[in-house]
Amino acid sequence: MKLNYFRDKLFDLLNDSEGMGIADLNADEQNSLLTVRTEDGDVFEIVCRQAAGKEDGWTTAN
């Protein structure tokens, strides 16, 4: 699975979710960043990077 595909699917999942209290969702594709603002005003950032390795101690691929 490619990183862009995964990030797009994650965006769709969050965007379509009912009951999570998401007020706004923004995708910064250049920085592989999803920014989520909740109805109560909290803001969360989700960075999407592909990890290398499958065993213990995964590392982030560059």
Inter-residue contact 29 to 48 (CB < 8 Å): no
Q: What pLDDT digit, counting tens, does each position of 42-52 carry?
A: 999 999 988 87
What pLDDT is stored for residue 47 in this prediction?
94
With respect to residue 44, please indicate whether it lies within any of the assigned structural domains: yes
With respect to residue 62, please indicate whether it lies within any of the assigned structural domains: no
Total domains, the chain: 1
With respect to residue 60, please indicate whether it lies within any of the assigned structural domains: no
Domain that holds residue 28: 3-52
Distance CA 40, CA 13 (A): 20
With respect to residue 24, please indicate whether it lies within any of the assigned structural domains: yes
With respect to residue 21, please indicate whether it lies within any of the assigned structural domains: yes
What pLDDT is stored for residue 3 in this prediction?
86
What pLDDT is stored for residue 54 in this prediction?
59
Contacts of 21 (CB under 8 A, 6+ apart): 38, 39, 40
Q: What pLDDT digit, counting tens, does each position of 22-60 carry?
A: 999 999 989 989 999 999 999 999 999 888 765 566 566
